[in-house]
Each structure stands twice: as C-alpha cells, then as structure tokens.
Amino acid sequence: MTLPTLPTLATIDPHHLTLTGSIRSERRLSDLEGVFEDEAARCAAVERDDPVVYRVFAVERGADESGALSFGLGVLQPGRVGDEYFMTKGHLHTRREAAEVYVGMAGRGIMLLEDHRDGRCRAVAFGPNDVVYVPGHTAHRTVNVGTEPLAYLGIYPSDAGHDYAAIASGNFRQRVVRTDDAPRVVERAARVVPGGAS
C-alpha cells in the first residue's frame, strides 16, 4: 500500500490553535460519559449546549510504517463539570511500551500519568515550552486548569495505537478539582460495588 506523502513542514497557528495539513477530530461533553465524577452535572451541560471539550489536529502516518512518528496538536477548552476541570478521555497506548512526548504550547495544564504496571500516579503541571515525557505502559490524560485553551503537541510512534477501553473500565485513580480557586489533585473515592464486600 502506498501511503500519502505527508508534509515535511507543518505549522501551528498560535492564534487560532490549528495545525496545517492535519485531520481534525473533536470530543463534546456528550462523548465523555464516565469521565467526570458528577455525571448529573455532565448530563445537564450536555442538555444545555453540549460544548466541545477538546479538539485534536492529527498528522498521522500509517501504523504499518515501521519506525514512523505521528503527531497531533491537542486543544483543550477551559471549563468544569461539577468541581472537576475539563479533561481528555485519557488513554494507554495499544502497544503498551510506546512512549510519547508532549510539548506545551499555550495555557495551563496538569498531566495525569498512571503506570499500569505498578499503579504509580503522578500529576505534572505544564504550560508553554514545557516538555513532558510519557513513558511506555503509562496512561495519560490532560486537564485544563487555566482560563484559556490549553494547547500541546503530542509526538508518538505511529504504531502506538489508542486504547480508551482500559481507562473507561476503571478511570484514573487521581482527579483534579478546583478548591479555593486553585487546582488540587485528589484520590478518587473508592467505588462502591452494590452487594460487594466492604
């Protein structure tokens, strides 16, 4: 199969936060069931205006092209559902050992990292000019804790793949809430299993 030739140069428009030569996708609040703790608040906001929470502008090579890299500009809007800031779904890579590099472009964010081998969690504050290294086997989710769009470039192996199901079944162990006008990272309350052992 012949892959389309991708441009050698892609350019981020810093004012409109777009990326030339990319394919755009977006997630609205209605796409984020199970992500936020306050499901009633999410449903109410979906009924109200179902806002776009984030967009991704991706420039991707085929997954079968050995050694290739893909990249994408993520733009996460400011906002909250209940006491939680807008965040991405988060994912593991299907090829678990695949790492990724994020480069902050605009706004104020926190990246939640969770190693699925030992359960270790980290929350990394980042912004423009910060580089976040996401090791393999690590679930990653970005959270916008500012008042402006949070923009970042993610660079990853083209065959990494995105596994959302592993997150959807258990969510991240940490979440970021607004307390006294400031972001705070808290442990997710243990889930109550009806009829289960306490």
Distances (CA, A) of 152 to 4, 109, 130, 165, 173: 25, 9, 9, 23, 23
DSSP class of 12: E
Long-range contacts of 123-130 (CB under 8 A, 24+ apart): 123/174, 123/176, 123/185, 126/102, 126/152, 128/104, 129/103, 129/104, 130/103, 130/104
Cβ atoms within 10 Å, residue 154: 19
User: Least Å distance between CB 193 and Fe ion?
Assistant: 30
Which DSSP symbol is given to 40?
H
- Number of residues that this document lists for the chain: 198
Name the nearest CA neighbour of 152 among 142, 137, 163, 139. Answer: 142
Q: Tell me how far, at minimum, the Cβ of 2 lies from Fe ion, in Å.
A: 27
Shortest Å, Cβ 27 to Fe ion: 14
Binding mask 44-83 vs Fe ion (x if CB under 5 A, - otherwise)? ----------------------------------------
CB closer to Fe ion out of 166 and 186? 166
Interaction pattern, residues 92-121, with Fe ion; x per rule: CB under 5 A = --------x---------------------
Taking the least distance from each CB to Fe ion, the nearer of 100 and 159 is 100
Of 99 and 125, the one with the shorter C-beta distance to Fe ion is: 99
Pick 158 or 174: Cβ nearer Fe ion: 158
CB nearer Fe ion, residue 47 or residue 164 = 164
- Closest approach, Cβ 25 to Fe ion, in A, equals 14
- CB of residue 162 vs Fe ion: minimum separation in angstroms? 7
Backbone phi and psi for residue 122, each to the nearest 5 degrees, phi listed first: -140, 150
Q: State the DSSP H helix or E strand holding residue 120, giving kind and residue range, or none if neither.
A: none
Query: How far is it, in rounded angstroms, from Cα 28 to Cα 41?
Result: 14
* Closest residue to Fe ion, based on beta-carbon distance: 100
The CB-of-103 to Fe ion minimum distance in angstroms stands at 13
Nearer to Fe ion, 60 or 83 (CB): 60
List residues near Fe ion by CB under 5 A.
100
